[in-house]
Amino acid sequence: MAAATVNEHLPTPLDATSEPPPLFDGTTRLYICLSCPFAQRTWITRNYKGLYDKIKVVPINLQSRPAWYKEKVYPENKVPSLEHNGKVIGESLDLIKYIDSNFEGPSLLPNDHAKKQFAEDLIAYTDTFNKTVYTSFKGDTVKEAGPAFDHLENALSKFEDGPFFLGHEFSLADVAYIPFVERFQIVFSVLWNYDITAGRPKLAKWIEEVNKIDAYKPTKTDPKELVEHYKARFLAQ
Low-confidence ranges of the chain (pLDDT < 70): 4-5, 236-237
Q: Are 100 and 47 in contact (CB under 8 A)?
A: no
pLDDT at 5: 67
pLDDT at 8: 85
233: which DSSP letter?
I
pLDDT at 7: 78
Beta bridge partners of 81: 31, 90
pLDDT at 4: 67
119-132 pLDDT tens trace: 999 999 999 999 99
- State how far the Cα of 162 lies from the Cα of 13, in Å rounded to an integer: 37
CB atoms within 10 A of CB 24: 14
pLDDT at 234: 81
Give the pTM: 0.96
pLDDT at 233: 85
Which residue blocks in the chain are alpha helix, DSSP H?
Answer: 37-48, 67-68, 92-102, 113-136, 141-155, 172-192, 201-210, 223-230
171-221 pLDDT tens trace: 999 999 999 999 999 999 999 999 999 999 999 999 999 999 999 999 999
pLDDT at 127: 97
User: In terms of Cα–Cα distance, which of 100, 113, 81, 80 is closest to 179?
Assistant: 80
CB atoms within 10 A of CB 75: 12
User: In terms of Cα–Cα distance, which of 140, 139, 157 is closest to 200?
Assistant: 157
- State how far the Cα of 46 lies from the Cα of 57, in Å rounded to an integer: 9
- State how far the Cα of 125 lies from the Cα of 54, in Å rounded to an integer: 30
